Structure 1
Amino acid sequence: MIASVLPTYNRAPLAFVKGAGSWLEAADGRRFLDMGAGIAVNALGHSNPDLVATLTEQAGKLWHVSNLYQIPEQEALADKLVAESFADTVFFTNSGTEAAELAIKMARKYWYEKGQPERIEIITFEGAFHGRSTGAIAAAGSEKMVKGFGPLMPGFTHLKWGDHDALRAALTDKTAAVMIEPIQGEGGIRVVPDQCLKGLRDLCDETGALLIFDEVQCGVGRTGKLFAHEWAGVTPDIMMVAKGIGGGFPLGAVLATEEAASGMVAGSHGSTYGGNPLGCAVGGKVLDIVADPAFLDQVNARAGFMRQKLEALVAAHPATFEAVRGQGLMLGLKCTCAPADVVNAAYAQNLLTVPAADNVLRLLPALNISEADLAEAVARLDAAATQLEQG
């Protein structure tokens, strides 16, 4: 008999009732150290007092009016994002998947309005994850994502990750855009080298193709800069963000230049809930905190501390771990076994982690996690690895 909650997840037998900072309390009273942060969502930890106060204040005033009217909180957050990024304009969504859908539409509509409707092809890369809508799975193209869900949306060219020759050959007069994650999350914490992002920007400039960055997981301070692409010194034409921008409240956005967004006019896109006063009030507070250079300096300091600890962990457990991957506080441990085995062993140590492809264990803690909690997390990973190695 099917469960009342559609069984599309293999859920761990854990139910949490409250949280504070980087710690969660289960229904049975056990305390867990959270190194997943709701898959990079709780950027400022659980029950952050600043976010609680902001949400509570806004909830007492106004929740929802729809985008039929001006929304001051939405305009304020858009102004902040424009001021802190390459973008000239922002559309708010409720999720990264919705942001991906708009990014795809925006790129194709741009060329349609330019009188080149044949430019519909969007180049994406093996290992990508852009969401689970029909458009987003067509963009990713992996068998795991698309099997059984055909017919798929056409107009995507899938390339091997890191194949520069194939990329150059694939860029034609039919190419609308190239869409890429500066760091693949679900794909196994694979970082696109700075020189490759620069080369990609140059290729798009040469051919006119739009460049779309998916920073749903790697953006909003996760790498030690507000947006991951800043490390390479390049900018996209369109960018998707979500996860951390709401600090736990469902919120996403598409950021774009005026030129890239020029095809999106009144009636070309919409959202009933997107950009509501509640979400945008919280998002505004998140951005106030995370965009502060002093906060980002702290993220980088914590990231350096954590990476040093993880490198020592890998050296101590070569039978379980092969290498450390990632940037900032978006780190991965390449495992010699299935990462699910390490996840389960970590549960026994009251530690929460996240599996990914390519035998990688993801570590995505709150950006304001303490060094003491990071050290404790690595100590528990050490105990989990010892447990695995002893059988």
Structure 2
Amino acid sequence: MPKILLTAAGSYGDVAPYTGVGARLRAAGHDVTLATHDAYEPLVRAAGLEFRRLPADPRGRRPADGTAAPEGAPPGRRALMRRAAAFVEELGGGMADAADDGTELLLLSATTAPLGHHLAEAHGIPSLGLFLVPQAPTGDFAPVVSGGRSLGRRGNRALGRLSLRVIDRLYAGATRTLRARLGLPPATPATVRRRAEAAGWPVLHGFSETLLPRPADWRAGLDVVGNWWPWHAPDAQLPPAVRDFLAAGPPPVFIGFGSMAGGEGERLGELAVRALRRAGVRGILQSGWAGLSAAHAPGADDVLTVGEVPHALLFPHTAAVVHHCGAGTTAAGLRAGVPTVPVPVTADQPFWAARLAASGVATAPLPFAHLTGETGVARLAHALTQATTGPERHTRARAAAARLATEDGTGAVAETVDRLMSS
């Protein structure tokens, strides 16, 4: 069987979609290994994929692809850049360890692609980009890390080129180290990136044009194929406690912040419970990295706290979803056909929050920084009321879900892989 190495790094949302990709490729007859962090080994193996370790703790240092900032880093751009560069340096060594002489194709996430290009060159094998967020400059929108505010077509393209140069700078040290280890001649990240662009290096983007149409000014080889969903067992069910809670009353509102807001679980849990009660709706809080919980809210029988639960199973049973608008959670909300209350924290999240609101399936974004005190309770409660009462958002959300149901993102990956392997 053809041997494929798929690499992904970062938080759960940065990694989990690739388990669905890997499972689809395995079903098509490929031998697939997913290289990622130790924390996701159970998820990778459950999907039937071989696991190889990439170093670095995703809770301590986040990806440097522009989609996330290192968690817990001191304020200031230089400090963030140093932390991100250290993450990438460590990641580069792990990438070299993960690739072996039997690898016939590299599949690279946005975080791992600037390192994977060197592995492909050293081993003389093809590679394919599998990105969850758009990176190529375009006049249609500003880079995702800019917060979703357009600067006009010329300004958007200029800022897009600048963002690539920032990424090149982050990978400079790791590139020198990795190329020396692989016995390759020196080359800067910018040089390697431009070579790939000039050669028409193919990149598939795992999001839906329902939310973000493919820019008309992108070069050939940059395609939007639809979402890649995290793998879960075909017979998977919600935990009994969740099923019982859903059956005990009207559809609840989901509230979760994924890998964001570390250490703020008690404060956020209390605020969320108060907002839910003010809006007159039940709720399910997902603990996530924040440790979100209703345990400190007295008499919170109308609120359930859960751990890791597949969004694909839970979201369709909710009245609305409140989340940070990471790319994966954004897509899961659309797929479920329920309205969203966007609470973006950082990086690409304001971009996706703005896209949801513009599509009419979400309330106006409520920045995470506004979730403080009595004002934060009032703002969240108001957004919950808007999301759960008016029919227009529900209608548009259901229409979006119907469009997503016609897409086959992992099938598009499988077809592209077959073409690359046969060429």
Verify same fold: TM over 0.5.
no
Greater RCO structure (CA 8 Å; 6+ sep): 1
Tell me which protein shows more helix as a share of its residues. Answer: 2
Tell me which protein shows more strand as a share of its residues. Answer: 1
**TM-score where L is the length of structure 1:** 0.31
